[in-house]
Amino acid sequence: MSQDTKKVFSLAIPAALKHLVDILQVLIDMLMVGAVSTAALAAVGISMQFMMLINAIITLYVVGGNALISRFIGSGRKNRASSLLYGLVIFATILGFFVTIIGYFGSATFYSAMGSTPDVIQAGEEYFSILSLGIILIFIDNLLYNALSAAGDTKSSLYIKLLSAALNAFLNYVLIFGHFGAPELGVKGAAIATVIAYLFNVIAYYILIKKLNAKLDFLPIVRKVDVVRAIKVGYSAFLDRGISSASFLIFVSIITAYGTAELAGYQVGLRIEGIAFMPGFGFAIAAMALVGQNIGARDFDKAYNMGIISGRIAYGFMGSVGIIMILFPEYLVSFFTKDMLTIVVASQYLILVGLAQIPLALMFVYSSALRGAGATKITMRVNVASLWFLRVVPSYIAYEMGYGIVAIFIIMNIETLIKGIIFWYIYSRRTWLHTKV
């Protein structure tokens, strides 16, 4: 195994395992909430779509910050990276305050806009209004995780996530079902547990970076020029993620129109598929960090090769997980629900997406490598055009023409395949290596 491959693995494996823990934490939430009611399960599932919009806002400062921090670290400018991190923490806190207000007072409106039934709206309002109170923590948590990853440290984030996930699961058990003398809060308890877990993350990251980490620090100097540069780079990523998230919400609203069982089946299948995302996500993080660092060091050939290595390993892993989803869909779904119609829908979803894991891996890794280089405008154009013209519009037409839910899943997979091929072609041209940030 070459040194470059070892470097990719050293970053990707902890990042992938952290993502696995992220997914398991969500799955545990859904398992426990699913014991409350089907409406509660659907409400928490829809909240994941709202969190996509939150994550879109996060990209405004995280993606550009990641690209610049990795370049600063690659060129040996730790102080410049540390001052940028400090400035972005301030920016994230201010931005998060305004988003919290919108989320808290607009939670019922969000669920109504999705066409949810009254029982799902009620459960959703209870859950998301509480979760909104932790948005500032979510903003800072994502920033600190990505900053450490850009600096080449993904192991520390894994250890923090393992502890917070255990804390979240314990608090779910206590607060959802009312154990150890606590009140039985149901879906509200799940939201409270999640917010407390994010608070733990932020405290742990602060201690790690301030006391133990040698690659990065909080340098209390705000270099406005660097913060503005990071936001300018991130703006295209923000538009990309924002429009994409809106597209996904419309896509989910089409699925919602089929019925509660179809929606629940899609949400369960999506959460299980998230396990297949694990290797792809890990190698995407590795590609983003290593491409950025080597561009900062002016080693463009190595930057390109790091993405190639990450992509090859990622589609090998994700393709293997896809085979498992194709062969054992009902067994995987049975852990989350006993409703037969939901099991059928989720199983159909898993079989189809299992076939699309290799192009999905290409999309993950190469789009992340482009973002690590600061080429966010390219990724925005591809993602927006693909989602609207190859997924949302065809899905709406299929629904209006009376086709079943399986047709929607097939359209989704075709879009993934085409987008993966497009990103592979763009990456292979190498012109993105000289993007200015």
Q: Please report the pLDDT score of residue 213 as a whole number.
A: 65
**Phi, psi (degrees; rounded to nearest 5) at 63:** -65, -50
Cα 106 to Cα 113: distance, rounded to the nearest angstrom = 11
Contact between 233 and 68 under an 8 Å Cβ cutoff? The reply is: yes
Quote the CA–CA distance of 396 and 400 in Å, as a whole number.
6
Token output for 217: 């620090």
Cβ distance 361 to 319 under 8 Å? yes
What per-residue string of b and e applies to 10-19 under the rule 16 or more CB within 10 Å gives b?
ebbbbbbbbb
pLDDT tens for residues 373-388?
A: 888 889 989 988 998 9
pLDDT at residue 109, as a whole number? 79
CB 395 within 8 A of CB 254: yes
Determine if the pTM surpasses 0.95.
no
Provide the CB-side half-sphere exposure for 173 (13 A, CA).
Answer: 8
Rounded Cα–Cα distance for residues 359 and 229 (Å): 32
Residues in the chain: 437
Give me 279's structure tokens.
């290797």
What pLDDT does 214 receive?
65
Cα–Cα distance list, 40 to 44, 116, 186, 191 (Å): 6, 12, 9, 12
- What does the pLDDT read at residue 77? 84
- Using 70 as the pLDDT threshold, list the residues of the chain that sit under it: 1, 49, 114, 212-214
pLDDT in tens, 385-437: 998 999 999 999 999 998 988 999 999 999 999 999 999 999 999 898 888 77
Q: Which pLDDT score is estimated for 1?
A: 63
SS3 helix, strand, coil % of the chain, rounded to 5?
85, 0, 15
Separation CA 129–CA 124 (nearest Å): 8
- Phi, psi dihedrals of residue 355, rounded to the nearest 5°: -75, -15
CA separation for the pair 202, 156 (Å, rounded): 13
Domain-by-domain residue ranges, the chain? 3-434
